[in-house]
Structure 1
Amino acid sequence: MYVEREQDVLRAASMYYLQDLKMEVIARHLGTSRSTVSRLIKRARQAGLVEITLRPASTRAPGLGRSVAAAFGIDTYVVPVPDSASHIERLDQVSMTAARLLSSWFDSDMVMGVAWGTTLASVSRFLTPKPTRGSHVVQLNGAANMRTSGIEYASDLISSFGTAFGAAVHHFSVPAFFDYPDTKAAMWRERSVRRVLDMQRRADIAVFSVGAVAGAVPSHVYSAGYLDDADVRLLHEEGVVGDVCTVFLRADGSWQDVHLNERATGPTPDELQRVPRRVCVVAGDNKVAPLLAGLRAGVVTDLVVDEITATLLLDAVEPATPRRRPRT
């Protein structure tokens, strides 16, 4: 006799609503019947684990997606959100979509590179289990800092991706930024570091967001002890608008002569471009400038973005033709 468990309620609802699996398939996964799966999904709704929101047919998300794709030559997934949505609500919706897409793209014998940060931490919360074989998840940028260590934060985040896919996890146990470029050069010769760098180079998918220097919600790299005041002043003086994998970018996408990049441990745009699929997940008004810089640097092949941010992105590209935010 089948006994309902809370974890089965959550698993059934996740597979049905987030992975679009049919009830027959879910029943096989759970070792039960279709009718039981139907009951589990109903219970998830009653318990508040699932909230169903109807979005109007007038949403501009599909058109925005086509416009962004045409402007930058990338695949774009625009997530509909109401104008009244808070930053957290926008981030949740985008993270949920990104988690679903990653589950459909990542499979056995693949390598996924993951950059730590607030957005990827959100994505990790929506990952649903998908067992794979011979797969690997590797951390893309170092995380240690002077104030909060940062190692445990990044380790937990990367491990959550590995757990979701049953993949071997490779942590990158170096600082986010070295104090001296010479120290970085020496560490890059160490066998333990080279092993992780080699795994990064094997990545089939890289997943990251963009960090914003300014805005009401500062990105993790700017708010958690990774930079001191002198570093931040230097970034402003050099025209930096944000970062990708803790490598700093100007508005035009240039990065090579930004001084802090000599000490950064994340992959450069040139190195990222060697990864076949590069997934950028973005939500928030303050992310528009760094997102545009990342697009100009050529680091993105697949963009997951909310409707409001996509509208602001196109406004930034075509300032002469202001767009009205979508009504909901």
Structure 2
Amino acid sequence: MDDIDELLSIRAAELYYEENKTQEEIGHALQLTRWKVGRLLTQAKEQGFIRIEILHARARRLPLERRLRDERGLADAVVVSRAGVRSPEELQERVAQAAADYLTALRPVPRTLGVSWGRTLFDVSQHLRTGWASGLNVVQINGGVSLNRRAGTAAATAVAIAHKGGGSATLLPSPAILERLETKVAIESDRVVAGVIDLARSADAFLFSAGAADHRSVHVESGYLSEADVDLLVQKGAVGDVVGRYVDAQGDIVDPSLDARTVGLTLDRLRQAALAIAVTSGESKHAVTDAVVRSGLCTVLVTDEETALHLLDG
């Protein structure tokens, strides 16, 4: 592009985007054909003279989604804009809404959806509209019974998703992590618990989030782990947890003894799934999100644009 065309491209872009002129009006003003105006606008985009940003809470970053599919091997990706976000909580709400939108648009709708729990998935359940699916069966894929104020979150998430999807929920009546291995073995041998885990293994699709390995973890808040426990896991290389199982940057289990006391679906089952949707947001989850994608734990990622850029360029 020579200097004259560059100046004409800029002028055409100004008239088109800032003055709302039609290409025909621009051609008349600049004494150019309508075809030439169209070409100048295309050149302006190609040269980076124009940046279009859609400022809406449900806007998506389609070029980043395309790169995640092409460069990180995902079947699909949803990347939301951070424009106008003022807090991590607001960003999480935006990503949860995007996940709810993605679930609503799924075709065919899964017969059985396996779901984990936590703050992010609870938000997803709240953003789903009633009637988003019909006859959906939801099964909880990891234990979530606790004795403090987090109690009920796991059940509430599964029940809300199922109720709004016109179906029923099957809950896993167990804590996420047991203190003693023999207790965990006994619980998973119980006929009811074993039946729920078998149903979880056979789900058509899975929906889960990932937690950072820090003191704000829901596992600390729920009383399963102490802050010192988390510090020790970090020393062993943990970057976060997926369905209650702590992994390193490669997606490998960092503490086999802890993992053996964790109730629910194994990570190998997620890796085998035809549809496994991970929902994450925020800088604190960059490392664990990278581990999830790197190790094939999800086929679909719903996240924010900074996390996407970390995965692509970090």
TM over 0.5: yes
Contact 1:247 1:266 in 2 (8 A): no
Q: 1:118 to 1:84 in 2, by over 3 A?
A: closer
Give the partner amino acid of 1:294.
Answer: V
Partner of 2:211: 211
Partner of 2:157: 157
C-alpha separation in 1, matches of 2:264 and 2:149: 17
Deviation at residue 61 of structure 1 after TM alignment: 2.0
Partner of 1:304: 302
Partner of 2:35: none
| TM-score under structure 1 length normalisation | 0.72
Partner of 2:189: 189
C-alpha separation in 2, matches of 1:161 and 1:125: 8
Contact 1:278 1:302 in 2 (8 A): yes
Give the partner amino acid of 1:260.
Answer: L
Give the partner amino acid of 1:153.
Answer: T
C-alpha separation in 2, matches of 1:228 and 1:219: 10
Deviation at residue 214 of structure 1 after TM alignment: 3.1
- Aligned residues with identical type, % of pairs: 33
Structure having the higher Rg: 2
Partner of 1:45: none
- Aligned partner (choices 238, 241, 257) of residue 239 of structure 2: 241
C-alpha separation in 2, matches of 1:106 and 1:193: 30
Secondary structure of the structure 1 residue equivalent to 2:239: strand
Partner of 2:95: 94
Give the partner amino acid of 1:199.
Answer: L
Give me the CA root mean square deviation: 2.4
Give the partner amino acid of 2:250.
Answer: D
Give the partner amino acid of 1:168.
Answer: S
Partner of 1:253: 251
- Runs (4+) of structure 1 moved beyond 4 Å? 106-109, 131-134
| TM-score under structure 2 length normalisation | 0.75
Q: 1:191 to 1:107 in 2, by over 3 A?
A: farther
Partner of 2:78: 77
Contact 1:107 1:135 in 2 (8 A): no
C-alpha separation in 1, matches of 2:63 and 2:54: 19
Residue deviations 1:205-250 (CA, integer Å, cap 9, x gap): 11011100138xx332233322124422331221111011101100
Residue deviations 1:186-221 (CA, integer Å, cap 9, x gap): 222211011101210121111011100138xx3322
Q: 1:192 to 1:239 in 2, by over 3 A?
A: same
Partner of 1:293: 291
Q: 1:132 to 1:252 in 2, by over 3 A?
A: closer
C-alpha separation in 1, matches of 2:291 and 2:233: 14
Partner of 1:231: 229
Contact 1:97 1:304 in 2 (8 A): yes
Secondary structure of the structure 2 residue equivalent to 1:177: coil
Q: 1:193 to 1:60 in 2, by over 3 A?
A: closer
Partner of 2:180: 180
Give the partner amino acid of 2:261.
Answer: R
C-alpha separation in 2, matches of 1:289 and 1:113: 24
Give the gaps of 5 or more residues in structure 2.
1-52
Contact 2:150 2:221 in 1 (8 A): no
Contact 2:60 2:78 in 1 (8 A): no
Secondary structure of the structure 1 residue equivalent to 2:298: coil
Give the gaps of 5 or more residues in structure 1.
1-52, 317-328
Deviation at residue 309 of structure 1 after TM alignment: 1.8
